[in-house]
Structure 1
Amino acid sequence: MHELVVVFVAIFHVALGELKPKFNQTPEHVTVIAGNKAILPCTVEFRGEHTVIWSSPRKTLISHADRRMIDDHRISVERPYIKEWNLHIRDVRHNDSGTYKCEINTVPIQAKLVTLSVFVPPMIISKYSSDLVVKQETETAELICNVTGIPAPNVTWYKRNFRKGNGYKEKIGLEGGALLIHNVSRYCDDIYECVVDNGVPPPRSKAIRVEVQFAPEVVLTNKRIGQRRGKETILECIIYAHPHSITVWKRNGQKIQQKSDKYSIEVFPDEENRMVTLSLRIMDLESSDYGSYTCEGSNPLGKDAEDMILYVIEPDPVVTHTTTTTTTTYGLQYEIDVNGGVGSWANNGGGISRNGDGGGDSNRGWVEEGGWEKDRLNPTSKPHKNPTNERGRPVTNQIYPGPRTNPISACRRFETSVVLLSSLLSLTLYCIKYVLT
């Protein structure tokens, strides 16, 4: 029985020895991201006494059986199962890419091809990319974003519009490593961003600052401003410029000093928006202070100026009504008919109706004996200085309309007061007449 078993085992080994080694020779493709570990599979069945070797894309012998034949500690042959001869490459690099060959030294030689593709995440080469681009208006700005990666990455451009805030950015131009901005203006002054992506995470981005230099532009918040005498006022102008401009206020062509008893100048720069607000405070206004003031800005690219007019505002007219001087001021008399007739108003002997439709010129205002000149109601005419009546006494209740006064409205208010006063006097005299009778 023992001899039978030995014969059976011998026959079995002979049968195995006659089986030829084989493996799946179908080419395989392995893809891995740089920095990770690549596993190149190779499975051999019925190897027998034959040897498995690995060779590199450059025809270099990598391993013989399970021994490494090159001085690269990243590479090894791993055999999790007896029929597997897998090639492991740790911390894989782009130059590891290529077609590897797993071979068995049979006659003829059998081989299995495994192609390794190493993908490289996108990377921006800052040394050869733009950081700051400075141009003058009407020039062409060129922004460079030099990138690398496998597969070849796409470059997309954005304008951040950082002055708008809220992380808003706008896609501009076409895809490519260079962005040209033709005929730049001050509105192109912004932060631009190139975003690089090739499907291998993570994507990369780079910010490029574009500065546009331009000559000053002066903008006035108001072309004209008014104020009363004795008060103070502030004139303001905004100057847009880059680089920063020299900003001054001028009066009659002469630069106004920064600090004095009459003037005070303050500067409020806003570097982000390329602007400067220049304010001029004028104290204790006098007649000589009114007129034209010039705001001027200049830089190496040019200069600009705008004029602002400061005009005088006359005080609002004050209308006074005094009941105790009615008959004296307006020369009105009330005559009573003792025979029972109805009394009447008279103006120096002339009759006048209670509703004001008779006696006198309707185009003239009511005034002391000297009268009120008709042309003084013209809004464009200037007030008369120190008006007096025929007796040389100053007229204290005269009305002189200023720029903010409607003379017609003032006249109507005055007439309304007279009508109310006439009604009050008529009622009083009627009561006196009733008592006498």
Structure 2
Amino acid sequence: MIHFLRTAGEPQFAELIRNVTVTLGREVVLSCVVDNLAEYKVGWLRAEDETILSLHRRVVTHNPRVAVTTRVSVGSSQQSRTWNVLHIRKVKESDEGCYVCQINTFVMMKQVGCIRVQVPPNIVDESTSDVSVNEFDNVTLVCKATGKPVPRIVWRREDGQNNMIPINPQWNATSFISSSWHRGRVKVDDENEEKLRLYGVTRRMMAVYLCIASNDVPPIVSKRIVLKVNFAPLVTTTTNQIADGVLGIEIRLTCQIESHPPSLNHWMKRDRNNSITAVLPRKYSVKDEKLNSPSNYKTNTMLTIHDIQPEDVRNSYICVAVNLMGQAEASIPFYDV
């Protein structure tokens, strides 16, 4: 309890207590400056519940994060000025509120200063984890973040291909800028842009998406969400035809495959009687090479034919790709010159 004294000369507050904004975990300081304090005492209270924190130089709360310091100076007029400073270390959200500096004069004198606690953004576990969908399905990616002020959410592709994210994220669906993305539409909704809705997803939308949360309180945080788009293989040849005047040399045939999940690839050969058999080692070698595409769903499969002989040029060669979504193939024929 703070006791009150009677005296002829009473103290005066020299300046207002400044309100303070502090980041979670930092130290906050409120200064109560009094002229002519003399034998009076200064105390600090929590305004919300009137919990007494300190009396003069002594901390009475059991909170180990609270401390009080006092400094006195005497001017040329012999008038003293006292700084009674409240320190709260490792600030928590629960410390937010107003604090009262009061002097135990007969008619109690008091001032109030307030603390506002800012909390860095944090992405909560309710956000979307990695997602796998079939091509042309719809999917919604969700990213929820807490913090004070309320965090803003921005969506980006990790590979930098952000032309498919609308510049003005409103409720209206926005077409992709590039015509090659014509199947997909995207919109960002909710007040805090927590949801990224993708419509009719295509293989080109398969990527790592970044949910970035910020509220001007460092640090900015982000979460990676991997979107996998499943589709049946598509096989195209980069070698259309092979001339038969290539006897005795080595030649390489190449097919490009788009697939997800990644396909199992193999080569077959078809003779002029339309009989299909597998290619065998020694005479043939097969190599798959993953292409460095943004979504990493493209592969080149290559068949090398060693020491071509007349029986080799009587065949056409077939590259075959198989995954859980289906199968596809392409044929590369020889032709006479």
Matched, 1:257 2:279: yes
Residue identity in the other structure for 2:308: D
Residue identity in the other structure for 2:32: C
Contact 1:25 1:111 in 2 (8 A): no
TM-score scaled by structure 1? 0.60
1:117-162: CA deviation from partner (whole Å, max 9, x where unpaired): 122222333x33344222221122333333222211211111122x
Q: Which has the higher Rg, Structure 1 or Structure 2?
A: 1
Contact 1:248 1:297 in 2 (8 A): yes
Matched, 1:179 2:177: no
User: Which residue of 1 is the match for residue 220 of structure 2?
Assistant: 203
* Residues 222-237 of structure 1: pairs in structure 2 closer than 5 A: 222-228=239-245, 230-232=247-249, 233-237=251-255
1:240-296: CA deviation from partner (whole Å, max 9, x where unpaired): 111121222232363413415xx4141223175323322333443326742543322
Name which of structure 1's ranges 56-65 and 222-231 shifts more when overlaid on structure 2: 222-231
Which is bigger in relative contact order (C-alpha 8 A, separation at least 6)? 2
Tell me which of 307, 311, 320 is aligned to 2:331. Answer: 307
CA–CA separation in structure 1 for the residues paired with 2:277 and 2:128: 42
Contact 1:67 1:77 in 2 (8 A): yes
Contact 1:24 1:112 in 2 (8 A): no
Partner SS, residue 94 of structure 2: helix
* Residues 6-17 of structure 1: pairs in structure 2 closer than 5 A: 17=7
Distance 1:23 1:62, change over 3 A: same
1:182-240: CA deviation from partner (whole Å, max 9, x where unpaired): 22111112222222221122322233222222110001113222122743543321221
Contact 1:291 1:311 in 2 (8 A): no
Mark the runs of 5 or more structure 1 residues left unpaired by the alignment: 1-15, 162-167, 314-437
* Residues 287-298 of structure 1: pairs in structure 2 closer than 5 A: 289-298=313-322
User: Which residue of 1 is the match for residue 12 of structure 2?
Assistant: 22
Question: Comparing both structures, which one devotes a greater share of its residues to helix?
Answer: 1
CA–CA separation in structure 1 for the residues paired with 2:280 and 2:300: 14
Name which of structure 1's ranges 116-125 and 299-308 shifts more when overlaid on structure 2: 116-125
Matched, 1:119 2:118: yes
Contact 1:265 1:278 in 2 (8 A): no
CA–CA separation in structure 2 for the residues paired with 1:99 and 1:288: 89
Partner SS, residue 95 of structure 1: helix
* Residues 40-51 of structure 1: pairs in structure 2 closer than 5 A: 40-51=30-41
Contact 1:226 1:310 in 2 (8 A): yes
CA–CA separation in structure 2 for the residues paired with 1:229 and 1:200: 68
User: Which residue of 1 is the match for residue 301 of structure 2?
Assistant: 278
* Residues 93-108 of structure 1: pairs in structure 2 closer than 5 A: 93-108=92-107
Name which of structure 1's ranges 303-312 and 27-36 shifts more when overlaid on structure 2: 27-36
* Residues 369-384 of structure 1: pairs in structure 2 closer than 5 A: none
Residue identity in the other structure for 1:101: V
Instruction: Give the total of aligned pairs.
Output: 289
User: Which residue of 1 is the match for residue 185 of structure 2?
Assistant: none
User: Which residue of 2 is the match for residue 147 of structure 1?
Assistant: 145
Contact 2:123 2:146 in 1 (8 A): yes
* Residues 58-97 of structure 1: pairs in structure 2 closer than 5 A: 58-81=49-72, 83-97=82-96
> By how many angstroms is 1:309 displaced?
1.7
Name which of structure 1's ranges 170-179 and 180-189 shifts more when overlaid on structure 2: 170-179
CA–CA separation in structure 1 for the residues paired with 2:139 and 2:328: 26
Tell me which of 256, 264, 268 is aligned to 1:246. Answer: 264
Distance 1:83 1:230, change over 3 A: closer
